[in-house]
Amino acid sequence: MSLSRSPSPRREGGWSSPGLTTPYDDSNGRSRSPRKAYGGLESPGGGGGGGVTWASAKANSARVNGYPSYQSQNKGFFSRHMRKLSESLPYFAHGGQEDRFAEKEKLGRGRRGGLGGSWKDVPARIALLLSRRRKYLALVVLAFLAVLLWFSKPITYWYRRSSMFGGGSKFVIILGANQGGGVMEWKGAREWAIERDSVKNKKKYAAEWGYELEIVDMSTKKRYAHEWRESWEKVDVIRNSMRKYPDAEWFWWLDLNTFVMEPSYSLQKHIFNDLGATTYRDINVYNPLNVHHPPNGTSGDPDSPEYQNYLDPLTSSPVGDNLPESINLIVPQDCGGFNLGSFFVRRSAWSDRLLDVWWDPVFYEQRHMEWEHKEQDALEYIYTNQPWIRPHTAFIPQRSINAFPQGACGDDKGLPKGGCASLKATDDPQECGIQGVHYQESERDFLVNMAGCEWGRDCWGEMYNFRQLSNRLNRSLWEKFKDGISEWWEGKEEGKNKKKSG
Amino acid sequence: MMQFPYPRKTSQPQAYTSARASTLHRRRSLRNLLPYLLSGLALFVFIIYLFRPSSPTPPDRNPPPGTSKVVIVTPIDPSLSPSHANDIKENRRDYAQRHGYETFFPSTEDYDLMPNVPSTWATVPALRHALTLHPHTQWLFYLTPTALIMNTREPLSDKVLTPSKLESLMIVDKPVVPPDSVIKTFSHLKGERVDFVLAQDHDGLAGGSLLIRNTDWAKFFLDAWFDPLYRSYNFQKAEGHALEHIVQWHGTVLAKLALVPQRVLNSYTRDTGSSGEGIYQEGDFVANFHGCARDAARNCEEEMKPLMSRWRELRDGQRG
């Protein structure tokens, strides 16, 4: 449409510019603006008689209203540019000729629709929305949506992985398979089954959130020149993983006998987004090992000068600097001390040092008979005796990343009525809070660790039960519905049988 | 063409374009370009934000003005005669005063060592204590009480600590414990990365004179060195052997270590080896009466007297 000058309202109303009053203004005779062409539909009452064209109707209404509905001001970006945008879209081959027919048909329909309430013209509105050129756009949008839907899984995966959005690739799960295997003992069918289940569970979880999964073979091998280091491989394995995933930040060690009960929890949301609140720094808060903090003398002589007297305030502070950024190691504590069945290490210069001093031949030589739990006891030792470790270590309530099954750590003390949320400060915390150790179904604990099941307990049985429980807890709505019906039916049948027998 | 719903042109062509109109036009076109410029700028900032270094520089890296760059640490055994102890302190204080350093002379009994542990172990907590008392110092300079600073002219920065100087002095790819330790000093190490400088004598690391940079690494290193299991292990040379042990077994320590020629930091007054390389000559920085305290047949105070008076002569000569 080319106007030689700006349209101006005439004194008696209406428009002086002829170009605006007819939809067929183009040299091709093609309607430039179908929305206007169907304008009559939008106000079915204004149309009047059958042969009335849009142009005359518009002129009429303009006269009645006294001012033009067409505004020459620039109303905004879209009003200014929409025409240009839509113009750049290609036209369909059969130009205005068919438009005209279509318009007439639709005008007729519009009149019929005009009799009823406003909802009756909904199909007409849809048709309007889907006018030919918009149809094209709609098709594109639809195709785009279809592609999104079709690739929704890879797209969410990519999104969750990317370091910019989800950040999943910043986490590496290290799963120690084959622990103590190899030359020490043979694997039976149950051991294989446990391994298969556990690995499958971690694979699923890692894929769900876009984490890296590193499954490592922990079987005892003659790997070192100094053979005494055997079964201390956790440290080396973490170091190797750090080398293998140079962009990852957090490394999560998991023993094989663990099971992710709630795969819908992401590590970020569960722990890392609010690291200051999900962890605690002060070991005096929960201290099953009775580690003295601030550190005291090592001579055992109560009259000796304080060990503390030479340490800087940051090191002797019970919480370090208390900034979540300074946390480099996250360890859960069970009823007996640190538990390394599930713990986090962050890549940093500090962790390099920790992983470096964790194993030392002089320590080993003096203590390997006492340190039954190898790395775990060694970590407890260096935490107690080397003050530089403390300001960068945080503890996490056992139940949030490493819940034990009933009986693994004394008796399950149960939950207060109404769950942990209803707990008051004066109440006995039972399994709630920092001292809670055992898995609580109603609190939907994240991960269960069947620690120590290889000594006199049934690992496979426990794993099986927890797997079933996890599946049941995480059923979809539809599955719940189906199961509900079948349970109801079974209940009814049982009732009948009881009546019969009774 | 500007984007308006319709061209804004009258049918009458303008007779001329005034200068004012053209600047107006230019201003308009500028205004039109502005969004693009802004978005370009935003993109640029965003890209910079994406590729920024992940670790922001710690804010308290800059020491408050007036803090000294080096703290000289010498633990004093309370069994020394007071005059001798005073001479040793005076010797350090003089050097510190010349170059604006601090001194720290704790007693070896200040710290809780385990029973039956040599008092020389107090070195390690003393260094940690110095870090606590001077949190903004850049370096710690430990000097054993059996050594004297003989050449006070050069500050430590010129002598060793400047990265370029350190790189020129560093002995690389050398067995840490001579003659045949498989652990050798790093062959590619930047001067700025070095946190720990010491010399080597004929049978190992010469721990009588150490330079440690004040970093988180220093805390780690000192705490690890002071571990109770090392103290209880009965290393023959106590903390000296423990030091050799951790340097050889722990890569994170070795990676911060630079060995310098012995006479730069730690000349010995007596030759205890065959080569005679590290023997003190007039003009050397430090004269160390190495082994005089450990050997019951020797008397440190007597041995040190001649050089002590020589140091006084030098000092007074320089002052006069």
Q: Of A291, A467, A479, nearest to A389 (Cα)? A: A291
Question: How many angstroms separate the CA of residue B252 from the nearest CA in chain A?
Answer: 6
Distance from CA of A135 to the nearest CA of B (A): 24
Q: Measured between alpha carbons, how far is B190 from B162 in angstroms, rounded to an integer?
A: 11
Dig out the tokens for A206 from the structure: 């890692």
Instruction: Assess whether B120 and B28 both reside in one domain.
Output: no
The residue of chain B with its CA nearest to that of A351 is B252
The single residue listed with the structure tokens 């002797």 is A316
Tokens of B54: 């992940």
Residue A311 is which amino acid? L
d(CA A272, CA A278): 8
Q: Determine the Cα–Cα distance for residues A11 and A401; give it in Å rounded to an integer.
A: 79
Contacts of B216 in chain A (CB under 8 A): 349-350, 388
CATH code assigned at B197: 3.90.550.10
Task: Say whether both B42 and B116 belong to one domain.
Answer: no
Angle at alpha carbon of residue A420, lines to A418 and A426, rounded to 5° = 100
How close does chain B come to A362, measured CA to CA in Å? 7
Identity of the residue in A80, A353, A362 whose CB atom sits nearest the CB atom of B233: A362
- C-alpha dist (Å) from residue A426 to A104, A196, A429, B259, B265: 80, 45, 9, 61, 63
Q: B260 near B169, Cβ under 8 Å?
A: yes
Which residue in chain A has the smallest CA separation from B127? A310
B-contacting residues of A 330-349, CB under 8 Å?
Answer: 349
Of residues A199, A209, A212, the one with CA closest to residue A251? A212
Same domain, B29 and B131: no
Burial of A481 (0-12, 13-18, 19+ CB in 10 A): exposed
Q: What is the pLDDT of residue B124?
A: 94
The size of the A-B interface in CB pairs under 8 A is 109
Average of pLDDT values for B170-192? 88
The answer to whether residues B179 and B224 belong to one domain is: yes
Contact predicate A341/A451, CB 8 Å: yes
- Please check whether residue A436 is in contact with residue A398, taking contact to mean a CB–CB distance below 8 angstroms: yes
Per-residue pLDDT averaged across B270-276, rounded?
Answer: 72
| Nearest residue, CB atoms, A84 vs list B3, B129, B135 | B3
Contacts of A10 (CB under 8 A, 6+ apart): A16
Tell me the two tokens of residue B7: 């061209």
CB of A200 within 8 Å of a chain B CB? The answer is: no
Contact B112 A298 (CB under 8 A): yes
Interface mutation vs chain B, best among A310, A316, A383, A386, most B CBs within 10 Å: A310
Separation of alpha carbons B5 and A81, rounded Å: 8
**CA-CA distance, A255 to A244, in Å (whole number)?**
20
Q: Which two tokens stand for residue A337?
A: 């001390």
Does any domain span residue B15?
no
Amino acid at A79: S
Please tell me which of the candidates B11, B125, B251 has its beta carbon nearest to residue A356: B251
Secondary structure class of A136 (helix, strand, coil): helix
Q: In chain B, which residues have their Cβ closer than 8 Å to the Cβ of A385?
A: 227-229
Inside any domain, residue B141:
yes
Q: What is the DSSP string of chain B?
A: ----SS----SSPPS---HHHHHHHHHHHHHHHHHHHHHHHHHHHHHHHHTS-SSPPPGGGSPPTT--SEEEE--B-TTS-HHHHHHHHHHHHHHHHHHT-EEE--BTTSS-PPTT--GGGGHHHHHHHHHHH-TT-SEEEEE-TTEEE---SS-HIIIIISHHHHHHH---S-BSSTTT-S-B--SS--GGG--EEEEEETTEEEEEEEEEE-SHHHHHHHHHHT-HHHHTTT-TTTHHHHHHHHHHH-HHHHTTEEEE-HHHH-EESS--SSS-TTB--TT-SEEE-TTTTT-TT--HHHHHHHHHHHHHHHHHHHH-
User: Quick one: A168 exposed, middle or buried, by C-beta within 10 A (0-12, 13-18, 19+)?
Assistant: buried
Grouping H, G, I as helix, E, B as strand and the rest as coil, residue A91 is coil
pLDDT value at position A121? 81
Q: How far apart are CA B305 and CA B311, in angstroms?
A: 10
CA distance A388 to chain B (A): 5
The per-residue DSSP string of A139-159 comes to: HHHHHHHHHHHHTHHHHHHHH
Structure tokens at A356: 């470096």
* Residue A387 contacts B where some CB pair is shorter than 8 Å: yes
Max CA distance (Å), chain B: 118
Is A385 touching B (CB cutoff 8 A)? yes
Q: Tokens 């739990």 — which residue?
A: A373
From B125, which residue of chain A is nearest by alpha-carbon distance?
A310
User: How far apart (Å, rounded) are the C-alpha atoms in residues A477 and A154?
Assistant: 24
Q: Is the domain of B41 the same as that of B88?
A: no
CB within 8 Å: B216 and A350? yes
Nearest to B132 among A298, A310, A366 (CB): A310
Extract the tokens encoding B66.
Answer: 């007036």
Contact at 8 Å (CB) between A398 and A335?
no
Asked if residue A453 lies in contact with residue A466, where contact means CB atoms within 8 angstroms, the answer is no
Say how far apart CA A383 and CA B82 lie, in whole Å. 40
Contacts of A366 in chain B (CB under 8 A): 229, 232-233
* Residue B40 shares a structural domain with residue B184: no
Evaluate whether residue B17 is within a structural domain: no
- Considering the domain architecture, whether residues B31 and B164 belong to the same structural domain is answered as no
Q: What is the residue type of A158?
A: W
B175 and B288 inside one domain: yes
Chain A residues within 8 A of B111 when measuring between CB atoms:
305, 307, 309-310
Answer whether A367 touches B (CB < 8 Å). Answer: yes
Helix (H, G, I), strand (E, B) or coil at A296: coil
Whether the Cβ atoms of residue A62 and residue A15 lie closer than 8 Å to each other: yes
> What ipTM, to 2 d.p.?
0.79
At A168, list the tokens.
């999943």
Candidate from A83, A305, A350 with C-beta closest to B5: A83
Question: Is residue A8 less than 8 Å (CB to CB) from chain B?
Answer: no
Cβ proximity of B71 and B141 under 8 Å = yes
Task: Report CB contact under 8 Å: A80, B131.
Answer: no
Give residue A343's pLDDT.
96
Q: Residues of A with CB below 8 A from B246's CB?
A: 360
Give the integer Cα–Cα distance in Å for B153 and B282: 13
In chain A, the largest separation of any two C-alpha atoms, in whole Å, equals 112
Return averaged pLDDT per consecutive 10 residues of chain A, 502 residues in all.
53 53 46 44 44 70 59 60 64 49 47 56 75 77 92 88 86 85 66 91 94 85 54 85 94 94 94 93 90 68 63 88 93 92 95 93 86 89 92 94 88 80 77 87 92 84 93 91 90 80 63
Go through A345-381 and write b for each residue having 16 or more CB atoms within 10 A of its CB, e for each that does not: bbbbebbbbbbbbbbbebbbebebeebeebbbbbbbb
Asked if residue B60 belongs to a domain, the reply is no
Domain that residue B39 falls in: 23-52
Q: Residue A219: which H helix or E strand, with range?
A: none
Q: Which chain A positions have a beta carbon within 8 Å of B182's beta carbon?
A: none
> Using beta carbons and an 8 Å cutoff, which residues of B are at the interface with A?
3-11, 50, 109-115, 125-126, 128-129, 131-132, 135, 216-217, 219-220, 223-224, 227-233, 245-246, 249-253
How do residues A360-385 score in pLDDT, each as one tens digit? 888 888 888 888 888 899 999 999 98
CB–CB of A7/A62 below 8 Å?
no
For residues B185 and B268, state if they share a domain.
yes
Q: How many domains does chain B have?
A: 2
pTM value? 0.74
Would you say A353 and B252 are in contact if contact means Cβ atoms under 8 Å apart?
Answer: yes
Of B111, B230, B252, nearest to A353 by CB-CB distance is B252
Torsion of CA A189, A194, A195, A197, to 10 degrees: 120
Say which residues have a Cβ less than 8 Å from residue A378's Cβ, sequence separation at least 6: A232, A358, A359, A363, A367, A371
The answer to whether residues B204 and B178 touch, using CB atoms and an 8 Å cutoff, is yes
Provide the residue type at B181 as one letter.
Answer: S
How far A305 CA lies from chain B's nearest CA (Å)?
5
Residue B194 falls within a domain, yes or no? yes
Q: How far apart are CA A487 and CA A475, in angstroms?
A: 15
Contact between chains at A310 and B129 (C-beta distance less than 8 A): yes
Contacts of A376 (CB under 8 A, 6+ apart): A337, A338, A339, A340
Question: What is the radius of gyration, based on Cα positions, of chain A?
Answer: 36
Mutate to test the interface with A, among B127, B195, B219 (most CBs of A within 10 A): B219
Q: Does B4 map to a domain?
A: no
The amino acid at A305 = P
Asked if B228 and A298 come within 8 Å (Cβ–Cβ), the reply is yes
Q: Which residues of B173-188 are buried (b: 16+ CB within 10 A; e: fewer)?
A: eeebbeeeeeeebbee
pLDDT digits (tens, 9 = 90+) for B35-47: 888 899 998 888 8
Do B211 and B304 reside in the same domain of the chain?
yes
CA distance A246 to chain B (A): 14
Tell me: cis bond preceding A324? Omega within 30 of 0 counts. no
Whether B120 and B163 share a structural domain: yes
Does an H or E element contain A98, and which?
A: helix A96-113
CA A217 – CA A240 distance, rounded (Å) = 12
- The total of other beta-carbon atoms located within 10 Å of residue A31's CB is 21
* Whole-number pLDDT of residue B30: 73
Residue B10 within any structural domain of the chain? no
Distance from CA of A212 to the nearest CA of B (A): 21
Q: Check CB contact of A87 with chain B, cutoff 8 Å.
A: no
CA distance B79 to chain A (A): 18
- Domain match, B82 and B230 both: yes
Query: Has residue B5 been placed in a domain?
Result: no
